[in-house]
Structure 1
């Protein structure tokens, strides 16, 4: 069985984490969620690498997760917010459980959440929606904190999380 690194990434943040893990996992197959083949019998364990899309997993990852059957799964995600906040951790747990339950007989082995750069389009939309087009100091502070992530320490932590889940 080959470990499967299944990825959905909009800005490249999640792709950085997924590539880092794939580079460290012997025999891992790296694949975009939209490119999942019909026959998944040769894959396991599975890492679902995704981003926070309006408080949910992205649609391509949801569709891929529905096709998993009898797999040990770990979920890895990136988000613009602070990953240590209770709200972020609750989102990660709930989203991971939903993804793993979307298929049949899968087991959630663990989760990993880290911060990532915020999409500039999202920042612009948020400023228009909530600030009448004007920057918000608190939102700007969060954006600046996210600018340096994911970094090498985030990648190392993701690799460690994979090892804790799957040995």
Structure 2
């Protein structure tokens, strides 16, 4: 059965997951590997990876998902805010809602991913403002934890999710 690995990656996190999938799945069955493109939809199963933008798949990946019909789809993604299975489930639910009902979701996987340094700088600048938000220290701590992700454990869990 043929497959394609399609991903969108702003910081390299989702690309790292996509490359792990390519190393894990049978090479001879791969019909496409790369960013969203019409050619990928020729495969029977699509492994579609996204980065999270405001609780949803990024715009490019989201547009691609909306074009799929009658496919088996495995969704994978990364989010800067991690540590909460409930948050990941909420994102995956939002992404699945974009798929046409003729598709079948055969699996999902999400993990935390590092964010650009500009995010931390923005949080620190917000702390200097009058009446800063009370959750800024938590956001900075999350940013620092995310720097190590995806890590070896995240990649191993992805491999397990596709087997």
Per the shorter chain, which TM-score range? 0.7 to 0.9
Aligned-partner SS, 1:81: coil
Partner of 1:32: 35
Cα root mean square deviation, aligned: 2.2
Partner of 2:66: 66
Q: CA 1:39 to 1:61, structure 2 compared with 1: closer, same or farther past 3 Å?
A: closer
CA distance in 2, matches of 1:83, 1:74: 21
Deviation at 1:39, TM superposition (A): 7.4
- Paired residue for 2:110, among 103, 108, 113? 113
Partner of 1:18: 18
- Give TM-score scaled by structure 2 length: 0.84
Q: List gaps (5 residues or longer) in structure 1.
A: none
- Give TM-score scaled by structure 1 length: 0.82
Q: List gaps (5 residues or longer) in structure 2.
A: none
CA distance in 2, matches of 1:54, 1:17: 20
Alignment of 1:90-105 (within 5 A): 90-95=90-95, 97-101=96-100, 105=102
Moved over 4 A (4+): none
Q: CA 1:99 to 1:158, structure 2 compared with 1: closer, same or farther past 3 Å?
A: farther
